[in-house]
Structure 1
Amino acid sequence: MSFTEEAESWRSKAHLGGARLPVLVGVTAIAALVLVFAGKALFDAASADAFVVEREGQEQAEGAQAEGEGEGAGEARTVVVHVGGAVAEPGVRELAEGSRVQDAVEASGGFAEGAASDALNLARVLADGEQVVVPTLEEVAGSQDGGSSTTEAGSSPGAASGGKVNINRASVAELDELPGVGPSTAEKIVADREANGPFSTIEDLKRVSGIGDKKYEDLADLVCVG
């Protein structure tokens, strides 16, 4: 091969190589762009999935919290009261918070025969742990006339020999006349014996709310059972 022919051959190869180089560069650039866009798409998709999962977790947590609050709000509060006196079924009653005296009486079977229903404020809201005592018409009448009601023999129903007061028979008015015993304690004594039966001994007075050792000592020589 002559020098001229060899030179032409090298020029031809150089020309072809120069033509391929831009093509290769372009293909490489396009491939790089494709990879970049594909990576960005994958990243966006992963971020979206993570956001959805996180949002669902938040919604579930909020739903559980709301459900717990709803259950707490739905729990009904109650009060416990002792109903005694002239009712059909004396005893301890559990009622909804906000209940009134009328509700306590109805829960105890209603008024008994001879009950002085007007002596109570039936619309009063009950407090937890309190005692509701329904007096009889006889007890109210005795209280209004100063306890002057007497038996056929001319003595008070609760009077006993020696001038002592029979705590198993005395009315609220008669018990109220004892020293240190006001209307409230007198009503509790009557309610206790009606709910739990007659007092066996005078010491049973200590089971009545409001009568402690000191008050019992003051009453011991003034009362009796029978």
Structure 2
Amino acid sequence: MIAALVAGVYLWMARPRPEPTTEAVPSPSLAVAGVTSPAARVIVHVSGKVRRPGVVTLPTGTRVADAIKAAGGVRPGARTDSLNLARKLVDGEQIPVGIPPPTAAAPAISGGPTPGAPGTPLDLNAATVAQLDDLPGVGPVLAQRIVDYRSQHGSFRSVDQLQEVSGIGSRRFSELKPMVRV
């Protein structure tokens, strides 16, 4: 009987126990208080129909839905159909919520070059399907893919990102590169 009691006490004392740690453990919450290195965070601009539009800092690996939540959530009546809420954020991007994608380029300032004018590179982030269709080697289907890519992934951050659009291989990219800009 005493042997069983001693064995029970021994097993109780030898059981694994949680130990407090002094290391910062990444939190799945949106708080960034534990994030100390710039590489462990992304800074994005959430604009449009959210409760608190502006710049938010979030942990790396955070999704578009988390950025919207950090900006106070979507305002009543706003739609997020055009956004991929599960996409991971990229540092420096803008997330327009409930705003239709641009359909026409902003008017040129008088005296300045007209977008798409000969010799003027076309802005990938402001170009319409019709303007992209005017580029050599780009038809209406490919022009729509470029606009769809921009809508799903946010603004182009570099001209090289154009290679990620389905249907643009290295040859077509090398032809388009001098004709476009971001």
Which bin holds the TM-score, normalised by the shorter protein?
A: 0.3 to 0.5
Higher relative contact order (CA 8 A, sep 6+): 2
Higher helix share: 1
TM-score with structure 1 setting the length: 0.33
